[in-house]
Amino acid sequence: MNAMERVIARDEIRQLAFRYALATDARDLDALVGLFVEDVQVGGARVGRDALRASFEEQLRAVGVTILFVGNHLIDFEGEENALGHVYCKAEIQDGERWIKQAILYRDRYRCCQGQWYFARRLHRLWYGVEASTSPLAQAPAHWPENHTGRGTLPEEWETWGKFWKESDPG
């Protein structure tokens, strides 16, 4: 790759991390699994986007609201079609009545397939998780922009959020 191709590839790879965070928070499973190569390995023996979708669905149904904030992103190329990445992420997660703050490092492998970059693997490593003393979701509505404090309208205003939770409703 020449210098300009590396710059473009880095930008496309960084977009993967940003899109991962948004798709996770919005519970857009179609967008989320579409960020991964078709032959993604899930756990020890499962392979493919269908297996990945089932894994994400199980993980995300176990928690409520998530807010992923992507920070530092280092990318090292291993040829023209493969790269490694380290992505820092601060997360806030609703776990039942608890509100958890985490510092995460994702260790990624990326692969370029037919001119498009995908995650080939994404490993979640945790520096820490700490419970906040109060949940920000327990506040009264903010009625933004009237008030600067209080509960906002996300994630419920995302169509994919409602669809995700409706699909799990047995009624």
Domain containing residue 102: CATH number:
3.10.450.50
In-domain check, residue 167: no
What is the pLDDT confidence band of residue 169, given thresholds at 50, 70 and 90?
Answer: low
List, for residues 43-93, the tens digit of each pLDDT value. Answer: 878 999 999 999 999 999 999 999 999 999 999 999 999 999 999 999 999
Residue 55 within a domain? yes
Structural domain includes residue 157: no
Q: What does the pLDDT look like over 93-110, one tens digit per residue?
A: 999 999 999 999 999 999
The predicted pLDDT at position 44 comes to: 79
Torsion of CA 6, 76, 108, 164, to 10 degrees: -20
| φ and ψ of 88, to 5 deg | -85, 145
Residue 151 lies in a domain: no
> Which SS3 state, helix, strand or coil, does residue 114 take?
coil
At 82 the pLDDT is 98
Structure confidence at residue 45 (pLDDT): 87
- Residue 141: cis peptide before it, omega within 30 degrees of 0: no
> Using CA atoms, how far apart are residues 100 and 115, in angstroms rounded to an integer?
38
pLDDT of 131-145, one tens digit each?
Answer: 999 999 999 999 989
Domain membership flag for residue 168: no
Query: Number of structural domains, the chain?
Result: 1
Range of the domain at 37: 3-135
Rounded to the nearest 10°, the torsion over CA 64, 66, 20, 83 is -120
Q: Residue 164: pLDDT above 80?
A: yes
Helices (H), 29-118: 29-33, 49-61
Spatial neighbors of 32 by CB under 8 A, at least 6 apart, are: 20, 23, 24, 53, 56
SS3 of residue 25 by DSSP: helix
pLDDT tens-digit readout, 146-162 = 999 999 999 999 999 99
CB atoms inside a 10 Å sphere around CB 95: 15
* Single-letter code of the amino acid located at 64: G
Is 118 in contact with 37 (CB distance < 8 Å)? yes
> What percent of the chain lies above the pLDDT cut of 90?
93
Q: What is the largest CA-CA distance in the chain?
A: 56
Tell whether 164 is covered by a domain. no
Of the pLDDT bands very low, low, confident and very high (cuts 50, 70, 90), residue 29 is very high
In a domain, 51, yes or no: yes
The stretch 10-20 carries a mean pLDDT of 98
State the average pLDDT for the chain: 95
Q: Would you say residue 150 lies in a domain?
A: no
